Chains A and B, each alone.
Chain A
């Protein structure tokens, strides 16, 4: 699962009026929920997402109430906190926290490229370095590489020309501009709660103009940064994560929606999604597959992150009631059945933070790679022994189920320490693959065979 402040977990900044929406299910108005609400939100008579409302409700109250002189030892961590759900008094658990990436990229000559491993016959090289917090990757038709991030507030464009690499800043002053999509000349950019489009972007890299197309999004920091993509239906897909580690979310959260490319016609197409930071459409079936990060603090070894497939609009994928298709939540699972929710097509390891994914349709890699999916796993924080931090390769059966999964790019963990962390993958026109590393602020290129000509 991904991190909160260091990574893909995270915290709410301000209450959203939409959070007042009724909760999913009446039957979760249980006493535990009400108890959680009471100390701070007495005026909410029903337990409407009490865990979510609790903190902001107090924030809005006048500070007239006396400070709690004889307060309990510790109030629960806010639902958006990465520490929400952490067991008390366990020294091993107390050592775990999200890992903040350095703001400054690693110098090109200090990148860990020599330690990274790819299968026989493949090559890996540095494609671009010096891109702070490099995360989501999108290639334009003319070969411009667009790079988003969570911490820098800018979006970068990498242009390769005459053997030189140039980095341009195409937008700045943004709030967590992680989500990027490119479609027919237009770049789409998702901040935490706003989606923009840049028409004819590759013709206007030096004077890009952006147009706001959609901002009907919650402003929660926790799982608020976006991965976006344009589907085969010519619609823009936008996830809205659950605003915390393990929360009973409102109707506006825990979902994937799609909008028309002008921002109109928003429609929720999947629910029960905790935090997806990567999805793509199968090249043959055109079905949407998405990664989803499992909850933290339940156990070192469960639940696992998921690879899911949407077969019909409105499917519910279980969170927060059922994890990994077969594990009822220790808090919210009571009275529910995992069989009521769509199970994942593959499990991707506990806390591994499975993020960006793309299907492979190129012809450079051997035939066995055709129509399989590469999945970047950022690596765990909520686990004593780190796992993940690699790019996996997954193959599929004709019925869309998963046939195999195996590590593809590895070597990012040395002595239980990260020397790099993959976030996203993107396929180049020549069939080679790019991989972003937000820990080092770099993009690597993986190619197959003896010819190792750079680019396109």
Chain B
């Protein structure tokens, strides 16, 4: 049901953007990308619990994640199934398409919340901005994290810390080693609301 409504909402903009890229396969590609957008959001912003917003992600980061899903090196069943038959060209095409979606917007709540200040301090303390950038927008293989869903940030940071998500490279496992769960929640709160 959700798929249908989203498909309708995709509307002209999406169709046009696909047409611009590859006229002949536009319809097919639109159909293929529709289920992605149903969960991840057609405007780059996800409304689904623990499902990340993907708009504005660097294409190389998306490509690596899709590759890891296809190869089952990152285990999320729905994503492993979705990418199982993808060719290398599919991986590139989906990455490029999704990267062009607009970046998510942070929620406007949280002003004056102590978690915001603690989280900001932790961002500096653990040097998130060394790799993710002062604007937390990422680059190349490093993801955009600003305004990411808070619950997904909590989930991801826990997975990196426990090594449930080893990652393409091991950077996050080391970064997370000294970060406890209370700090993870503060970090997620602040990063989700980062402007």
Task: Give residues in A with beta carbon < 8 Å to B.
Answer: 4-6, 10-15, 40, 54-56, 58-59, 61, 63, 67-69, 71-75, 77-78, 80-83, 86, 94, 97-98, 100, 102-105, 151-153, 175, 221-222
Contacts and interface: CB of A to CB of B under 8 A. Distances in A.
Contact of B166 (A13, A71, A83, A104): A13
B130 A56 contact: no
B60 interface: yes
A221 B174 contact: yes
A12 B92 contact: no
Given A11-B173, A14-B163, A71-B121, 4 more contacts: A11-B175, A81-B171, A81-B174, A104-B88
B170 interface: yes
Interface range for B: 35 or more
B124 A74 contact: yes
Interface in B72-96: 73, 88, 91-92
B125 A83 contact: no
Contact of B177 (A59, A67, A97, A153): A59
Given A13-B163, A74-B125, A6 B73 contact: no
19 contacts: A4-B169, A10-B170, A10-B171, A13-B166, A13-B170, A55-B174, A55-B177, A56-B178, A59-B180, A67-B182, A67-B183, A71-B125, A74-B126, A74-B127, A75-B125, A78-B174, A78-B177, A100-B140, A103-B63
A68 B183 CA distance: 10
A343 to B, nearest CB: 32
Contacts of A72: 125
B125 A103 contact: no
B36 to A, nearest CB: 19
A56 B168 contact: no
B174 A80 contact: yes
A81 B175 contact: yes
Contacts of A69: 117-118, 121
Given A100-B64, A103-B67, A104-B91, A11 B125 contact: no
Contact of A100 (B130, B169, B173): B169
B141 interface: yes
B72 to A, nearest CB: 9
Contacts of A83: 127, 130-131
The dominant DSSP class at the A interface is loop
A61 B179 CA distance: 10
Contact of A6 (B124, B125, B163, B169): B169
A67 B125 CA distance: 11
B171 A12 contact: no
Contacts of B170: 5, 10-13, 221-222
A6 B178 contact: no
B176 to A, nearest CB: 8
A86 B131 CA distance: 12
A184 to B, nearest CB: 32
Contact of B168 (A12, A97, A100, A104): A100
A11 B178 contact: no
B71 interface: yes
A356 to B, nearest CB: 20
Contacts of A5: 167-171
Contacts of A80: 174
B111 to A, nearest CB: 18
A10 B125 contact: no
A67 B122 contact: yes
Contacts of B163: 13-14
A151 B169 contact: yes
Contacts of A63: 180-183
Given A13-B163, A72-B125, A153 B173 contact: no
B26 interface: no
Given A69-B121, A72-B125, A102-B60, A4 B171 contact: yes
B186 interface: yes
Contact of B174 (A12, A58, A71): A12
Contacts of A78: 174-175, 177-178
A15 B174 CA distance: 10
A104 B92 contact: yes
B29 to A, nearest CB: 19
